Amino acid sequence: MDSLTQLVFGAACGEAILGKKVGRKALIWGGVLGTLPDLDVFIPLGSPVDDFVSHRGFSHSLFLLAILSPLIARLITTIHQNSKHLYIKWVLFSFVVLEGSVLLDLLTIYGTQIFWPFDTTPHAVPSLFIIDPLFTLPILIGVLAALFLKNHRLNTVGLSLSLAYLILALGTGIFVKQKMEVKLTEQGVSYSKFVCSPAPFTTLLWRTVGIHQDQYFETYYSLFDGDIPLSIDFYPRNLDLMNGIEEHAPVVKLKNFTKGYFSMSDINGSIAMTDLRMGSEPNYVFQFKVAEIKEIKNSPIKAVRLKAILDWSQLPWLWERVWKHTAQL
C-alpha cells in the first residue's frame, strides 16, 4: 500500500491497543512501525531489477517481524521508562502493527515475500489497489480525531469500517475471479493463467490480464456489468525477442518475479521486458531494457528501468467504465 495508508493504519492499530494508556505515543510509534517494513526501498542492491524483485523481501517476513517485536518493544520501553510496566502490551502492539502492515501489502498485486527466508516466492492476494481512498479515509479520520480531539471512539469506528471494507474487497476478488473463469470459458478464450486486480482507486472495477503462449489479453469487469460479454483486447508477447538472452540474469529474475506475466518489446533497437500486472495497455509501471537487438544474436546489457508513462487522461474513462460497459477510451 502507499506510505500514507501504511502510516495511518499503523497509527490506528497502535491507538486501538495502547492509546488510552500512553496517549499520543501510541499514534506516533504506530505510524513509525507501520512504515518501517517499506523502508527497504532505500537499500541499494546494485541494479534496478534487483531493487525491483527484492522489494518487500526480508523486511516483510512474518517470521522476522515476529522475532523483532519483543526487541522493538524493549527499545520503546527503554525510551519511555514510565511505560515499562506495559512491556507485554508493547510487544503485542509491535507485533500487530508490523504484521498488519505486511498483510496489507500482501493484498496488492506487487508480490510480498511473507515467508522469507523459508520461501522467497512473492505472494499476492490482489484485493486492493495500492491507493484506495475508501480504505484509507476512515482510518485517517479516526487517527486525526484521536490526535487532535483525543477521541478514541472515532479511531475504533474508522478502523472497523476500513477492516469491513477490506473483508468486502477480499470477497469481491473471489467473486470476480470466478466470474472471469465463467465468462472466458463462455467466450471461448484460451489461457494458461490469468490474474484479476482492482482498477485504480476502486474495487468496483477490476482489470484482468491473461496469458496464452505468445499472446496476452486485457479486459475489464465492473460489478455492474452483469452478464454482458467481456470486451477483450489481445496483444503479442514477442517471446522470440528472448532468443539468446534466456539465461541473462535480469531476464530470469523478471520472469520469475512476474510469475510469467510479462511481455517483450522492441523499443528503438533495444529489448524491453514489461511486467503486465501493474499498469494497463499501453502504459505500464515497471519496464526494463535488458538487451540490444543485433543482426546475428541479441546482446545482453546491464538492465535499465524505463521511465513509467502515467496517462492521467485514462482516469475519467475508468470512472465511466464502472457504470457503462460501452465507455470508450
Identify any residues that bridge with 207 across adjacent strands, giving them in sequence order.
197, 220
Eight-state DSSP code of residue 228: P
28-36 average pLDDT score = 96
- Position of cell 465492473? 222
Helix (H) or strand (E) run with residue 34 in it: helix 24-35
92-127: per-residue pLDDT in tens? 999 999 999 999 999 999 999 999 999 999 999 999
What does pLDDT average to over the chain?
Answer: 94
How far are the Cα atoms of 185, 202, 223, 251, 261 from residue 172, in angstroms, in the given order? 20, 11, 9, 34, 22
The pLDDT confidence band at residue 329, using thresholds 50, 70 and 90, is low
At residue 50 the predicted structure's pLDDT band, cuts being 50, 70 and 90, is: very high
Angle, to 10 degrees, between the axis of helix 87-106 and the axis of helix 24-35? 40
Q: How many CA atoms lie within 13 A of 86 on its CB side?
A: 21
Confirm if 187 and 230 have CB atoms less than 8 A apart. Answer: yes
What gap in Å lies between CA 324 and CA 29, rounded to an integer?
Answer: 44
- Return the C-alpha cell found at 33: 512501525
As a whole number of Å, the CA-based R_g of the chain is 22
Tell me the sheet residues that pair with 195: 209
C-alpha cell of residue 296: 546475428
* Residue 77 dihedral angles phi and psi, to the nearest 5°: -70, -20
Provide the pLDDT for residue 314: 81
Q: What stretch of H or E contains 195?
A: strand 193-198
Name the residue among 241, 235, 237, 290 with its Cα closest to residue 263. Answer: 237
Tens digit of each residue's pLDDT (9 = 90 or more) over 263-321: 999 998 999 999 999 999 889 999 999 999 987 788 999 999 999 877 777 888 888 99
Distance CA 192, CA 211 (A): 6
Buried b (16+ CB within 10 A) or exposed e, 34-44: bbbbbebeeee
Which helix (H) or strand (E) segment holds residue 77: the answer is: helix 62-79
CA 224/CA 228 separation, integer angstroms: 9
Query: Per this entry, what is the length of the chain?
Result: 329
Angle between helices 152-186 and 133-148 (to 10 degrees): 170
Is the CB of residue 50 less than 8 Å from the CB of residue 253? yes
**Does residue 290 contact residue 302 with C-beta atoms inside 8 Å?**
no
Mapped onto helix, strand or coil, the DSSP state of residue 302 is strand
- Pairing status of strand 215-222 against strand 279-280: unpaired
Q: Report, as an integer, the average pLDDT of 177-189.
A: 96
Predicted pLDDT at 294: 83
pLDDT digits (tens, 9 = 90+) for 56-97: 999 999 999 999 999 999 999 999 999 999 999 999 999 999
Say yes or no to pLDDT of 328 above 70. no
